[in-house]
Amino acid sequence: MTLSSSPLLERIKELEREGLAAIKEAVDLDALEQSRVRFLGRRGPLASVMGSISSAPPPERPLVGKAANAAKKALAEAMEARKAELAPKRRRLASVDGTLPGRKLWAGGIHPITQVMDEICGIFSELGFTRARGPEVESVHYNFTALNIPLDHPAADMMDTFYLEDGVVLRTHTSPVQARVMEAHKPPIRVVVPGLAYRRDSFDPGHAPCFEQIEGLAVDEGVDFVEFRAAIHHFVNAFFGPSVECRFRPSFYPFTEPSAEVDVTCTVCAGSGCPTCKRTGWVTIMGSGMVDPAVFEQVGYDPERWTGYAFGMGPARIAMVRHGIPDMRLLYEADVEFLGQFA
């Protein structure tokens, strides 16, 4: 008897052939698992061949053991390969359900403050205003002195800001652009200036240290308070709707004279009084006034010939009034769930 004709070795070869065929024919993972149990299981034929090694003649035993291990390895490898072929098929089949609705795609939206800014600029563009922009890092001259705000003036205190180096600040309002536009252009001028401004304010429900502002400036011959009021009325009507009223309240700004704060009917309570409007029924939306002749002199305009009005408002506050948002911080936190409501 030669070793190659050993019955145990023959049996191992036969089992390997049968096992490989069964693996190849397995149509799914369940069938594959059945062939694994059948050929490689603890009670399978290969295991019993291993168990009967002791009955083989001693010189044959190492060869039988080696052949049995090689067969096991070949079967296990074939099994893994077949499994990889079958697995994606199974996943695909399981996930196909023609009745399921499509997955919603992620879509970005425009931030509520940006929406408000675009809308405000759009309304004023109907009145002939174009957009202007200026630097956020500004000189003390443009931020304060050119606007008739001496540095020892209380208004400069109120707008305390971040000083970068001598004479350079992060602008506390978009008003410096007024002076820049007036220096660069001759009247008539009608501009709106959207942009960011900075103040050393705490981050609380009503304030943010960095916030958007929109400034407006009109300079022309014969511009008077009547035109100014008409422009603001037009804006309030277009933006908030005809049911919202507005009123002018005397106020003080160094660069306008006379100055007025503009209030609109509280949209949360329709004017009857609520916590948002501090029970007054009114919400302040902007500061405004006729441009102070001293500002015209600073930029070389003849105050005898030119008159104008200016206004400034905070789009974040206006977005809060419009949507009834109680806390400004919500607008500046990247909470997609919250902001998604306005997209």
Interacting residues with Zn ion (CB under 5 A):
266, 268-269, 274, 276-277
Burial class (CB in 10 A: 0-12, 13-18, 19+), 74: middle
Q: Which CB atom, from 29 or from 269, has the smaller least distance to Zn ion?
A: 269
Closest CA to 319 of 26, 153, 101, 119: 119
Q: Which CB atom, from 271 or from 312, has the smaller least distance to Zn ion?
A: 271
Return the amino acid letter for 319: A
Q: Which CB atom, from 127 or from 269, has the smaller least distance to Zn ion?
A: 269
For residues 33 and 16, the answer to whether their CB atoms sit within 8 Å is no
What is the closest distance, in whole angstroms, from the C-beta atom of residue 122 to Zn ion in the complex?
27
* Distance (Å, whole) CA 53 – CA 221: 114
Q: Which CB atom, from 112 or from 271, has the smaller least distance to Zn ion?
A: 271
Spell out the alpha helix ranges (H) of 268-335.
293-298, 315-323, 329-332
Q: Which CB atom, from 13 or from 279, has the smaller least distance to Zn ion?
A: 279
What is the closest distance, in whole angstroms, from the C-beta atom of residue 262 to Zn ion in the complex?
16
Phi/psi for 253 (5° steps) reads -135, 145
What is the closest distance, in whole angstroms, from the C-beta atom of residue 115 to Zn ion in the complex?
22
Pairing of strands 282-291, 256-265: antiparallel
- Residue 123 structure tokens: 């309304």
What is the closest distance, in whole angstroms, from the C-beta atom of residue 274 to Zn ion in the complex?
3
Position with the least CB separation from Zn ion = 266
What is the closest distance, in whole angstroms, from the C-beta atom of residue 291 to Zn ion in the complex?
32
* Distance (Å, whole) CA 181 – CA 133: 9
Spell out the alpha helix ranges (H) of the chain.
7-25, 29-40, 45-51, 61-95, 112-126, 140-143, 154-158, 176-184, 225-240, 293-298, 315-323, 329-332, 336-339
Reduced to 3 states (helix: H, G, I; strand: E, B; else coil), residue 169 is strand
Q: Which CB atom, from 192 or from 320, has the smaller least distance to Zn ion?
A: 320
What is the closest distance, in whole angstroms, from the C-beta atom of residue 326 to Zn ion in the complex?
12
List Cβ neighbours of 228 (8 Å cut-off, separation of 6 or more): 218, 288, 290, 309
Q: Which CB atom, from 181 or from 328, has the smaller least distance to Zn ion?
A: 328
What is the closest distance, in whole angstroms, from the C-beta atom of residue 320 to Zn ion in the complex?
12
What is the closest distance, in whole angstroms, from the C-beta atom of residue 322 to Zn ion in the complex?
13
Q: Which CB atom, from 76 or from 269, has the smaller least distance to Zn ion?
A: 269
Instruction: State CA 83 to chain mean position distance.
Output: 44
